[in-house]
Amino acid sequence: MVSSHRSRRSDGPPEHEDVVLLRASWARLAGTRPEARAVGEELLGRWSEPHRRYHTLTHLWSTLRAVEILEQEAAHPDRVRYAVWFHDAVYEKRPGTDEDESALVADRLLTLMGCERGDVAEVVRLVELTATHLPEEGDPDGAVLCDADLSVLAAEPDGYLEYTAAVRAEYGHLNDRVFRAGRLRVLRSLLDRSDLFHTRFGRTHWEGRARLNMRAEIDRLTEAARREA
């Protein structure tokens, strides 16, 4: 959701509605102790970095909303929510490395908050899992996290086009030919999987639409390459 509505905090400048909603969501999850508030503000700052175009506060909020849809299939929904908050805490367009560094941020900040060591370890594992989006059988929390993160693939056509435009903007330093080749590799790799989604809800409600969207994107990219040849 991208909203033009802005609200004003009494002690600061106007903020997008996403920030207001996310700050309240973090407080419900982590509480309002000073340590928790400080971690929440650090995360909001990370997700607001100016070089981001898709991996933004809007993506964070949309993924948290997807977790709400899938919550009944998770074993530990709050661990999944923490993993959502941390999964792109580091985003420098370095697949694998970004997830590893985001996991380190989760380990450090959740430990500072005083979270139980077992919970911290599981959040770290979940964050690392977003490098592949391939949870193992019997990993309901991993399935919910991965499906929530990829739920944008099942957006309505206009929403999917907004997503692809934002992804292209994040890779603005690449020329069209290089970007298309990389994007096509990603799309074809995902479509080669027997299942994009791992939850019952995802397979039932998101799988078909996601595959249609991705095939349509492949057609657009292939046609653009043909015209340039």
- Across residues 69-79, what is the average pLDDT? 98
Q: How far from 91 is each of 21, 120, 128, 222, CA to CA, in Å?
A: 22, 21, 13, 28
Contact 173, 165 (CB under 8 A): no
Domains and CATH numbers, the chain: 13-228 (1.10.1300.10)
What does the pLDDT read at residue 197? 98
- Across residues 50-71, what is the average pLDDT? 97
**Claim: this prediction has a pTM higher than 0.85:** yes
What does the pLDDT read at residue 17? 77
Return d(Cα 93, Cα 15) in angstroms, integer. Answer: 26
Looking at the chain, the whole-number percentage of residues with pLDDT higher than 90 is: 90
What does the pLDDT read at residue 172? 93
What does the pLDDT read at residue 7? 32
Return d(Cα 27, Cα 186) in angstroms, integer. Answer: 36
Residue type, 13: P
What does the pLDDT read at residue 2? 28
Average pLDDT of the chain?
92
Return d(Cα 221, Cα 228) in angstroms, integer. Answer: 11
Return d(Cα 71, Cα 157) in angstroms, integer. Answer: 25
pLDDT band at 15 (very low <50, low <70, confident <90, very high): low
Looking at the chain, the whole-number percentage of residues with pLDDT higher than 70 is: 93
Contact 3, 18 (CB under 8 A): yes
What does the pLDDT read at residue 8? 34
What does the pLDDT read at residue 228? 84
pLDDT band at 226 (very low <50, low <70, confident <90, very high): confident
Give the largest CA-CA distance in the chain: 59
pLDDT at residue 86 greater than cutoff 90:
yes
- Which tokens is 110 given? 């959740």
pLDDT band at 96 (very low <50, low <70, confident <90, very high): very high
Backbone angles phi, psi at 126, to 5 degrees: -65, -40
